[in-house]
A and B are shown apart, each in its own frame.
Chain A
């Protein structure tokens, strides 16, 4: 079992260039993510949160600065990443079991002797053991995201990246899946970078929240979420510290939105 990767960003900058003009997504980001830590990137739309993830998973290259990901003396190429997208990350032509088994079977270093059993195990971890042979279109958005989460954990990643994975879910489903994710994460002890613009979600899930400014994204501040675990959303709703942190984060985001409005 991997204990998780450490991430270090130094002056990380991303500029998208087109023929007409350059757009700075974010600039000079300096931050660290510790092994096994759950970090939320919180910020208004357009602050380049998702682009930070794209650099972490190698889909994009930084324009300047450096991003290092390290895990137990492994080289960058050997570091395994699990990723959950906003929606539709599953392959519609594979049932849930095939969706996970395919990823496991395609790994360079075999994850397990019996990838089918491992896939079944991870799907039952997210409560989908009765839906192994269902295709994604036969399931609700919440079930599809649960399967995506199961897939991301199944590869035993050093780093889990989540790009607003619950943004298209209704409120109750979201609460349910957040709770489930926290349990999975605590059992597996992975490093997680979770992008969201939902303030309560960030406070509920994170050890630390990196608040980004609006366009272009820079680090506004970092909030330590010193709430005990395991956390329960309904209990936290009455917790003064939780409310205080939500209030604090709300003010920060509001400042940014006002900035945008001006």
Chain B
């Protein structure tokens, strides 16, 4: 992470401008409370209101949905990339299902899996699965023909070929998928928690809106932003560690 703390500059400037506009009355303070008030609220009032439970509920759903979704996406993506049979069997149906907005099928998923954790996990699973799958397929396709030939000429056994050539060769594209999917998982989980949930950050935001608790609502939004920031930069950090050979 070459830029280190520089990454914090643009968010901080945005907060500062917002703070000034709210304090000087440029913004209507009822809709745009100063961010410092939101932070104070987040660390003093929100824990009393049970924000920790909400955060853990959302993280739990993201964790299980995302980890299973990306694992399945990588596995099927590699299989599709390597085998024409698997591609013919699965790719058309994937091309058909991929563009359907996952939020559009939320009611259906709740119908099937109930309104508990499982339906949220399933929708996060589906969202991350497709994004990682599509990127993995592209990743396998991006491996140069020469590397396939080296594998053939030196008679690299199938197992080594997949684990040491195909998988690492696809990893840069897989990471693109992983980063897109983690952001998307946050979006989906919040949307899923808006309706039919008894805990979660989305639930918190929706409840706060209904009771016009603007500060609590902002607290929820801040938490989502912070999680997105941590997830994205966390993955970039891992990516740089894992892929020292990728030139940016």
Contact = CB atoms under 8 A, between A and B. Distances in A.
Interface in A84-136: 85, 88-89, 91-94, 102-103, 105-108, 135-136
Contacts of A135: 244-245
Contacts of B152: 57-59
Interface residues of B, number: 21
Given A89-B146, A91-B165, A102-B160, A59 B153 contact: yes
A137 B247 contact: yes
Nearest to B149: A59
B154 to A, nearest CB: 5
Sort chain A's interface into a size bin: 20 to 34
A94 B156 CA distance: 15
Nearest to A108: B155
B155 A106 contact: yes
B101 interface: no
Please report whether the interface of chain A is mostly helix, strand, loop or mixed according to DSSP: loop
A8 B245 CA distance: 42
A98 B247 CA distance: 19
Given A91-B165, A93-B243, A83 B155 contact: no
B169 interface: yes
Contact of B154 (A94, A137, A155): A155
A81 interface: yes
Interface string B127-156: 000000000000000001011011011111
Interface centre among B149, B154, B244, B245 (most CB of A within 10 A): B154
A57 B152 CA distance: 9
The listed residue with most B CB atoms (<10 A of its CB), out of A82, A103, A161, is A103
A83 B147 CA distance: 12
B83 to A, nearest CB: 19
A78 to B, nearest CB: 10
Contacts of B153: 57-59, 81-83, 161
Contacts of B11: none
Contact of A85 (B149, B156, B168, B244): B149
A93 B150 contact: no
Contacts of A58: 152-153
B124 interface: no
A137 B149 CA distance: 20
Q: Pick the most buried of A57, A85, A93, A103: most chain B CB atoms within 10 A of its CB.
A: A93
Contacts of B147: 91
Interface string B171-185: 100000000000000
Contacts of A107: 154-155
Given A93-B245, A135-B244, A106 B150 contact: no
B169 A106 contact: no
Given A135-B245, A137-B247, A89 B150 contact: yes
A92 B245 contact: yes
Given A102-B164, A106-B155, A137-B245, A93 B146 contact: no
Interface of A: 57-59, 81-83, 85, 88-89, 91-94, 102-103, 105-108, 135-137, 155, 161
For the complex of A and B, 9 pairs with smallest distance between CB atoms: A93-B168, A135-B245, A83-B153, A106-B156, A106-B160, A57-B153, A92-B245, A93-B245, A103-B154
